Amino acid sequence: MSAFPPVFSVVAPHRTEAGGLALESPLLLAPLAGVTIPPLRLFYSLLGAAAVHTEMISCAGLRRANRKTAAMLDILPGEAPVIVQLFAGDTETMLRGAETALEGTSFRAVGINMACPMPKVLKKGAGARLLENPGTAFSMVSSLSGLGLPVWPKIRKCPPGYPLTTEEFCRGLLDAGASLVCLHGRTPAQRYSGEADREIVGAMAAKFPEKICASGDVYTPEQAADYLRRGCRTVLMARGALADPFLFARTLAFLGYDVHNSYRNPSPDFQMSLLLHFGDSVCGYCGPRMAVLFVKRLLSGMFRGVRGIGGLRRAAARVLCWTELRGILERCDAYFERREECSGCTI
C-alpha cells in the first residue's frame, strides 16, 4: 500500500481519545460479517478509517481450534488499529475464546457482539439475544475487562418489553467495565431495514459522554457529523462505506481534516489503481474467486458520475475470473468517456 499517499496531507492535527485508544479520527470501519476480511480492512485503513473491526468471530469455533475461524484472527501489516469482535452465548465460552483470540495477536480492543439479529446466532444465545439476558452480557464484559484490553460491546436499541431499557443496558455495560458502547439505533426485529433511531443514540451520548460509538444509516458526511454533533465519541461506517469507499475521506474533509486531494477528489485513474491493488491483495490473501466478488461489490459504488462506468460495470458483471476482470479494469479507458473533464490528480 506504500505506493499510495497517506490520506492526511499533514500529520493528523489532533487525536481522538476513544474507548481507551488514541485514534487519528472518530471514523471507524464497522464489523461486517463476510466483508471485513484483512485485505478489505487494509483498503479502508488506506482510505482513512481510524480503526477497523474484524468480522464477528465465533468463540466456540476458536475453542474448537477450527482452522477457518482461527484464520479470521489474521492482521495484515499496515492496517489501522484492529478491534476483534467476538460472539458467544455464555461467559465461559466468551472468555476462553477471547484468551485464544488475544494470544500472540496485536488487537487493540475486544468487541462483543450483542447486536446480531440473525437466527443462527440468536439460537446460540449470542448476538442480540444477550439484550434479553443482561446478566450474561454484563458478566461477559467484566470477565473480558480482566484481559487488559479495552472492551467494546456492540448493542442495538432495546425495544419495549425487553428486561432493560437502552439506557439501563448501556449503564450496566459501562459499570461492568466497558470502555465504549457501540450503539446501533435499530431494534433486533428491524434487522437492517427501516430507519435507525438517531434520537436514542444521541440521547445515550448525552447520558454517557465520550462513551458512545454511533451506528446506523451513515451514508453521507453530514450523517456522520450529526452523530458527532450529538456527542457520540466515534462513528461506525458500514453500508455507506461499502457503497462509497471514499466516504471516509469525504467525511474527514467535511469535518475539517486536511485530506490529501487524491482522496478528496479522486480521479478515475487513482480510484482504479486502488481498486486493482485491492483486488490483487484479496486474490493473494484468499484467492481469485473472492477477488472477483469483492472487486465487483466495490465497483458498483465507485466511479460515481464517471461517464461510461455503466458499460464497464456491465462488462465486469459477466466475468468470473480475476485475471480477466483485472484486464477489463486495466482497459477502463475504453469505457470511460471525456476523461479530460474529470478533476483530481493522478498518482
Ligand X SMILES: Cc1cc2nc3c(=O)[nH]c(=O)nc-3n(C[C@H](O)[C@H](O)[C@H](O)COP(=O)(O)O)c2cc1C
DSSP letter for 14, please.
S
Out of 16, 69, 85, 251, the only residue in the binding site for ligand X (CB under 6 A) is: 85
In 3D space, the residue among 81, 105, 106 whose CA is nearest the CA of residue 21 turns out to be: 81
Contact assessment for residue 254 and residue 328, using Cβ atoms and an 8 Å cutoff: no
**Contacts of 124 by beta carbon, 8 Å cutoff, 6+ apart:** 60, 87, 88, 89
Residue 117 binds ligand X, judged by CB under 6 A:
no
Out of 19, 31, 202, 266, the only residue in the binding site for ligand X (CB under 6 A) is: 31
**Nearer residue to ligand X within complex by CB, 48 or 268:** 48
Stretch of residues binding ligand X (CB under 6 A), selected from 169-177, 199-207, 216-224, 325-333? 216-224
Contact assessment for residue 177 and residue 211, using Cβ atoms and an 8 Å cutoff: no
Stretch of residues binding ligand X (CB under 6 A), selected from 31-39, 134-142, 170-178, 317-325? 31-39
How far apart are CB 84 and ligand X at their closest, in Å?
A: 11
How far apart are CB 6 and ligand X at their closest, in Å?
A: 26
How far apart are CB 54 and ligand X at their closest, in Å?
A: 8
How far apart, in Å, do the first and last CA atoms of the chain sit?
13
Strand positions, DSSP E, the chain = 16-18, 21-23, 27-29, 51-58, 82-87, 109-114, 151-156, 181-184, 212-215, 234-237
Out of 202, 231, 240, 268, the only residue in the binding site for ligand X (CB under 6 A) is: 240
Q: Looking only at residues 124 through 143 of this chain, which bind ligand X when binding is defined by CB under 6 A? A: none
Residue 28 binds ligand X, judged by CB under 6 A:
no
Contact assessment for residue 187 and residue 207, using Cβ atoms and an 8 Å cutoff: no
Distance CA 88, CA 144 (A): 12
Contact assessment for residue 96 and residue 59, using Cβ atoms and an 8 Å cutoff: yes
Out of 80, 115, 180, 204, the only residue in the binding site for ligand X (CB under 6 A) is: 115
Residue 179 binds ligand X, judged by CB under 6 A:
no
Positions in the binding site for ligand X (CB under 6 A): 30-33, 35, 55-56, 85, 113, 115-116, 154, 184, 192, 196, 215-218, 236, 238-240
